[in-house]
Amino acid sequence: MRIHREGFPFIAGFAIATVVLFLIWRPLGWVGVVATVWCVWFFRDPDRVTPRRAGTLVSAADGVVCAIVSASPPPELGLSPEPRVRVSVFLNIFDVHVNRVPADGTITALNYRPGKFINASFDKASEDNERMAIAMRLADGRDVAFVQIAGLIARRIKCDLKVGQTVEAGERFGIIRFGSRTDMYLPAGYTPSVTVGQRVFGGETVVADIEGMPSAAVGGVRP
């Protein structure tokens, strides 16, 4: 099982703590073993088969769709303030937390904004919480915005993208450590293909589609 590089310091820390707990009291050591196994599981980074059909957007994260609303994209990205459909995905502490690019395109803006750490399942987390906002230009000239949002437990957002970088759908671009949320602001003409309460998988589940696109698609594992 592939482990994201951000996880190795945490896994090592949990393992060392487990050894210490065994030295203190054996039952505590077994609690440490469980915690270490969970830490390894949390930082897993599985391969995904990404649909390769033009006019689709795949989920940027694993989790459950917690909201589909109309909202303006983050103002710091410099996009039009006109409201768009926003699809929000909540990640709990057992979900894969590696984030993936939703479509082929070019990164046009990145902006980190410090903020609060309220429960990421609350709608106000999109406005109040610490976040990394990303804007990307699609091949057809439309813009999509996606946002990594910290949560009640998550305190670290990692984004490896750079302005001007060309990316492909399903490509890994970062991670949010522990419980968190991702928002996706759809371009004009795209409609959601998921519903609130649905479980989605980063880089694999199609969350939005251009109306009238044909259903034929091919897929491939994104390394």
Where in the sequence numbering do the catalytic residues fall? Answer: 180
The encoded tokens of residue 107 equal 């990164």
Please state the separation of Cα 13 from the chain's center in Å: 25
Where does residue 89 rank: exposed (0-12), middle (13-18), buried (19+ CB within 10 A)?
A: buried
User: How is residue 84 written in tokens?
Assistant: 């768009």
CA distance 88 to 126: 9
Output the CA–CA distances (angstroms, integers) from residue 110 to 7, 118, 157, 172, 207, in the order listed.
Answer: 24, 23, 13, 16, 22
SS3 210: strand
In whole angstroms, what separates CA 165 from the centre of its chain? 18
Distance CA 104, CA 52 (A): 9
Residues 163, 157: Cα–Cα separation, whole Å: 17
Grouping H, G, I as helix, E, B as strand and the rest as coil, residue 123 is coil
Residue 112, sorted as left (phi over 0), alpha (psi -120 to 50) or beta, turns out to be beta
